[in-house]
Amino acid sequence: MLLTRHRSFALLGALSVLLLLAVPAVAWAQSAPLSSPDPQVWVTNGGVLTTAIAPDGTNYIGGSFSYVGPKTGCGVAVNATNGTVQTAFPEVQGPVCAVAPDGSGGFYVGGHFSSVGGVACKNVVHILAGGSLDTTFDANASASDEVYALAVSGSTLYVGGSFDTIGGQARNHVAALDTTSGDATTWNPGADGTVYALAVSGSTVYAGGEFTTIGGQSSNHLAALDATSGAADTTFAANASANNDILALAVSDSTVYAGGAFTTIGGQSSNYLAALDATSGAPDTTFDANASAGGDIYALAVSGSTLYVGGHFNTIGGQPRNNVAALDATSGDATTWNPDAGSDIEALAVSGSTVYVGGYFGSIGVQARYNNFFGLACFSPTPALNNLTVSAGSLSPAFASGTLSYTDSVANGVTSLTVTPTADDSHASYRLRVGGVTVSNPIALSVGNTTIDIVVSAQNGPDQTYVLTVTRAPSGDAGLSNLTVSAGSLSPAFASGTLSYTDSVANGVTSLTVTPTADDSHASYRLRVGGVTVSNPIALSVGNTTIDIVVSAQDGVTDQTYVLTVTRATLITPHVTLTLSGLKGGAVKLGKRLTVKGTVKPSSLAGGKVSLTVQRKVGAKWRKVKTMTAKIATGGAYRCTYGPTKKGSYRIRVTFARTAANTAAATAWKAFRVK
């Protein structure tokens, strides 16, 4: 579908500036001789119905406008701290729908425009840190179409939209461009419909839109593409199939958040917003935001454990929320943050403790915006506690509202703790989290440190987190839960209560790695041979080596010793025999073949090889004429054939070479004549 929601709105998370959109409005001529408006004169956002010039030169105007400001074009840089417009930015002639930072203070800008800073360029450009147009970047998307999504990864700019050519190549709706030149790379998934959203995570490019095929695969509205080949992940496509357009994407760790116009995704009912496994695409059925019917999601931003959502809705996460909300990123439940925007939210960005919101609202956060049609606002209240208590031990330092980090020490017998926060504001709420997971009182304590985050959410602002690290006293557990060896196997099989073991290894095993696993992760161990501490791998002598595994409990007092006796096998003394079949009177006729056979003992050497060397006597010297190998079969027998090519005196030598498992080489000879 054509994005009526994409009414030229893009917002970039603030570093030092924001990229904000403006709509050209009425301008007036400064003096009669000018044939075109003076670009330096300010403009209004509505009609000018009357004007009068005072004697001092002041021009008084009146009309249906609510704002007067500089003529900026459709893209400007706004100071993220004080909201002032930065003048060093080229005028963009046409709507801007997407921006992405270049990592060097500049931006890539996409939309539906024909020129930037007076230079003809179509729909995607690079603006440098100083505010000038990068004329070496020449992507030029097809003129009649739009660029809706941009994402930078290294030296690649991924682009989504409704175009069919970009970067000098035919590309349907999605492409990868060189960030320096703007040339299209070979990456070409080719979607059959508009791409509205892109997100890059590692080696995967996530794409959302109105397409049903992309990357050579059927993929309804959402796809995971290989960042190198462009191929679509078929498993992800099957699990993440949506019944309508995907308009916004955000990735956080192993989760992909998707917003749009859909009501089902991955076969699950999910109104307009879903959380999916980033690898498989399977919907997370525990995430249930359930936006109000008919309420599309246009913008997403993740900050820690909070998912900020913008769009067109009046309920989400189980609570009344107008067009913008903050949700628990795990459950999808709405937090108490509630700016209450008067109309659609098209763009979101989070920087530190500030959320930037852009859209078409006339009021937000109980404040009217100057522009009745477009809006930008930021929120940065800081929630706080006025008390914090624990059910065991005591806080260190003593609680103070401005102190965010505390410790508590409890005995080993204290296995759980109740934490009770009291917020400054009665409308604020809190949640307790351990390891990023929301928990409830009492909180289970492991031996050692347990870090508890107390996340306080103001009614109308970002979260603030107090951190409590609880140390549970060490235990006296000096047992093992497992013991493994790199060669051979333990006898008997490992059991925590069994302290003595044996292991047998081949003679060729000259060292062994012993890996103990303690019952208690805070316990330690050391390996000792003959009373001396050693480290892996442990050298083995022929015969017995006794290894002590000494486990020390966390309390530093309790030790327990496991004993492992390793027997390394002695070297083998091999013996070989050699016989020749086909001889008569010690001779064979030229042209006939001899069968060369014999045995190698002991039979444990089966599977190895013997080498056979044939020599012929020339004058007084023996000359090598043939080298062969034969595999030693089960039982120790070997066999091969040889056919002499000349008459004379011959001899054959069979050799079993020396190895790490046997003491020396073994050799046997046989002589014969060829007539």
Q: What confidence tens digit (pLDDT) does each residue in 294-348 have?
A: 779 999 999 988 999 999 999 999 999 999 999 999 999 998 888 888 888 899 9
Q: How confident is the model at residue 375 (pLDDT cuts 50, 70, 90)?
A: low
Which residues fall within 8 angstroms of residue 641, CB to CB, at 6 or more apart? 593, 594, 595, 596
Q: Which residues of 4-25 are buried (b: 16+ CB within 10 A; e: fewer)?
A: ebbbbbbbbbbeebbbbbbeeb
State both tokens at 399: 């609680």
pLDDT at 67: 72
Q: 170 with 184: CB under 8 angstroms?
A: no
pLDDT tens digits for 196-255?
999 999 999 999 999 999 999 999 999 999 999 999 999 999 999 999 999 999 999 999
What mean pLDDT comes out for the span 24-39?
Answer: 46
Sign of the alpha-carbon dihedral angle for 370, 374, 380, 385: positive
Lowest-confidence region among 146-155, 363-372, 625-634: 363-372
Confidence of residue 367 (pLDDT cuts 50, 70, 90): low
Domains annotated for the chain, with CATH where assigned, are 385-472 (2.60.40), 480-568 (2.60.40), 575-674 (2.60.40.2550)
pLDDT bracket for residue 15 (50, 70, 90) = very low
Note the pLDDT of residue 616: 95
Closest CA to 128 of 154, 82, 183, 89: 89
**426-483: pLDDT as tens digits:** 767 889 999 999 999 999 998 889 999 999 887 555 578 999 999 998 888 899 999 9
The overall average pLDDT reported for the chain is: 86
Tens of pLDDT, residue by residue over 256-307, are 999 999 999 999 999 999 999 999 999 999 999 988 887 799 999 999 889 9
Whether residue 417 is predicted with pLDDT greater than 60 in this model: the reply is yes
For residue 269, what are its two tokens? 């009912």
Give the pLDDT score at 418.
97
Burial class from Cβ neighbours inside 10 Å (0-12, 13-18, 19+) for residue 340 reads: middle
Cα gap 269→262, rounded to integer Å: 9
pLDDT, one tens digit per residue, over 153-167 is: 999 999 999 999 999
Residue 371: pLDDT band (50, 70, 90) is very low
Question: Would you state the pLDDT for residue 38?
Answer: 63
Give residue 461's pLDDT.
56
CA distance 599 to 44: 104
| Pairing, β 587-588 against β 666-674 | parallel
Q: Please give the pLDDT value at position 3.
A: 42
Give SS3 for 603: helix
Cα–Cα nearest to 674, from 581, 613, 577, 593: 593
**Average pLDDT rounded to a whole number, residues 379-401:** 83
What are the E-state strand segments in 411-475? Answer: 416-417, 419-423, 429-434, 437-439, 443-444, 448-457, 463-472
Contact 402, 382 (CB under 8 A): no
